[in-house]
Amino acid sequence: MKRRTIEVPGLHHGGAPFPIAAVVDRFLQSSAVHGMDPNTGEIAGTAEDQAEQVFHNVRLILEAAGSGLDDVVAATVFIADESVRRVVDPVWVKTFPDPRSRPTRHTVLAPLRRPMLIQVQFNAVLEERQ
């Protein structure tokens, strides 16, 4: 099995020596995805803006891997405080609108480095390529 790195221009972890995601065979694992706008390098301001940006970034990562949201199996959402959960839930439902086809999710309170209020780590099983 060979691992391949997924890169998205503008999405990174500063100078940290790891990619935004990696794929082995058909399994994709992301690192922590935050609310950074890949065009500006800035973290979105409000929790609402960060939630929208985080899930937009998830889409960008999946697209870079030749995949899409339907391939996401599970996600862990890290939130800076409990009040952020109410912001994440509507964006989650908008991102995964079919209640019979949503990935599993675990939400964890975490000491995120400000200004980050939300991070998501996810895995996906990519469709077989023909």
* Beta carbons of 51 and 118 less than 8 angstroms apart: yes
Q: What is the pLDDT of residue 1?
A: 78
Cβ atoms within 10 Å, residue 110: 16
The rounded distance, in Å, linking the Cα atoms of 55 and 96 is: 10
Going by pLDDT thresholds of 50, 70 and 90, the confidence category of residue 14 is confident
The rounded distance, in Å, linking the Cα atoms of 20 and 88 is: 21
The rounded distance, in Å, linking the Cα atoms of 26 and 123 is: 10
pLDDT digits (tens, 9 = 90+) for 18-68: 999 999 999 999 999 999 999 999 998 999 999 999 999 999 999 999 999
**Type of residue numbered 64:** A
Q: What is the pLDDT of residue 129?
A: 60
* Beta carbons of 124 and 71 less than 8 angstroms apart: yes
**Helix H or strand E segment including 118:** strand 118-125
The rounded distance, in Å, linking the Cα atoms of 58 and 51 is: 11
**Type of residue numbered 35:** G
Query: Which of the four CATH numbers 3.40.50.360, 3.30.365.10, 3.30.1330.40, 3.30.70.20 does domain 3-125 have?
Result: 3.30.1330.40
Residue ranges per domain, the chain? 3-125
pTM above 0.85?
A: yes
